[in-house]
Structure 1
């Protein structure tokens, strides 16, 4: 047996745990998630969760961190074209509906906890700096502060994926293309 086989096995186990945890946390949140269900779905055991991630909260942080990094890599901010950025972010949410569910659980269960995930904090600060620079250069209007403008763009991007089920039911006939168009044109109108 070669030395790298255990590393591959460990990496495969971590991958299965992250995949199972993503589904579990998206469905039940942090408090409702059960490590025994995650371990069973991952064909692992609870001891492995604690070994690799320290705790259920540590596992959630790993899931959330990975989700954020994937989104940042797939949808980099383009301050020169915020409408298209918003459209691409909307597309990302449509393709990965569990992202908004995880973000909702994160907001609900971590608000006021003092827990700050570095990837979220760093990427938010970097985006605000990029918007601020684009405003200074006249690329973006300065009607809103950089953080306000970024927040509005992010919320418009997630508009269709963060509504209550009753709204979703009455807007179900709206096509995917129209949903994207609404996001893009709303951000363009915001920039006026």
Structure 2
């Protein structure tokens, strides 16, 4: 059977997703990732350079998948909030993975900054009122916070509300936030 490097790389990324989301960057083990991917441990270093490089590549793939599942719509932020909420509920390990990254890494990459700034600029451009980029960034941060709140809330509190009810609240709160913060600028 011929060697398929693309398939090996994909298996490594999938195994890394499971390992990193369960154990974080510090707790993840290259041996477990390689074994789960049915690959040689050296393949990780050949494809990704290091465990950190594998983490970065896997995170980029998963963030791209999340962006595809919840396309950013600055002209309709409540719809975006609903789509992002749905995507996070369908893929709870993505949120866990980002939380590990926030806990274990203090550096912010230029690509992350650019991504967030471009969203704030798009929100400002889509607004029907003159909106500063700083206010647009506040709106974006609040929308993301609303979407992630359900998953990061204590299970006992989540048990007191349905996921559908919370989704509706996220969409309504996003609409109210956009309305309030565009009027206040």
Q: TM-score, normalised by structure 2?
A: 0.89
Instruction: Give the SS at the match of 2:101.
Output: helix
Q: Which residue of 1 aligns with 2:150?
A: 160
Question: Which residue is 2:124 aligned to?
Answer: 132
Aligned to 1:59: 54
Structure 1 residue 171, shift from structure 2 partner: 2.4
Equivalences for 1:176-187 in 2 at 5 Å?
A: 176-187=163-174
User: Counterparts of 2:131 and 2:146 in 1: how far apart (Å)?
Assistant: 17
- Name which of 40, 46, 53 aligns with 1:45: 40
Checking the alignment, whether the CA contact within 8 Å between 2:150 and 2:158 is kept in structure 1 is no
CA distance in 2, matches of 1:18, 1:110: 20
Structure 1 segments of 4+ aligned residues over 4 angstroms from their partners: none
SS in structure 2 at match of 1:80? coil
**Count of residues in Structure 1 that have an aligned counterpart in Structure 2:** 179
**Structure 1 unmatched ranges of 5 or more:** none
CA distance in 1, matches of 2:102, 2:157: 26
Q: CA RMSD in A?
A: 2.0
Q: Answer yes or no: is the 8 Å Cα contact 1:20–1:38 preserved in 2.
A: yes
SS state at 1:76 partner: coil
Alignment of 1:1-192 (within 5 A): 6=3, 9-111=4-106, 113=107, 116=109, 118=111, 120-135=112-127, 137-138=128-129, 145-163=135-153, 167-192=154-179
Distance 1:72 1:170, change over 3 A: closer
The 3-state SS of whatever aligns with 2:39 is coil
- The answer on whether the counterparts of 2:124 and 2:131 sit within 8 Å (CA) in structure 1 is no
Q: Is the contact between residue 61 and residue 117 of structure 1 (CA under 8 Å) also seen in structure 2? A: no
Measure, in 2, the Cα distance between the counterparts of 1:108 and 1:187.
27
Q: Are the aligned partners of 1:65 and 1:117 in contact in 2 as well (CA < 8 Å)? A: no
Contact 1:156 1:187 in 2 (8 A): yes
CA distance in 1, matches of 2:151, 2:8: 31
Structure 2 residue runs of 5 or longer lacking an equivalent are 180-185
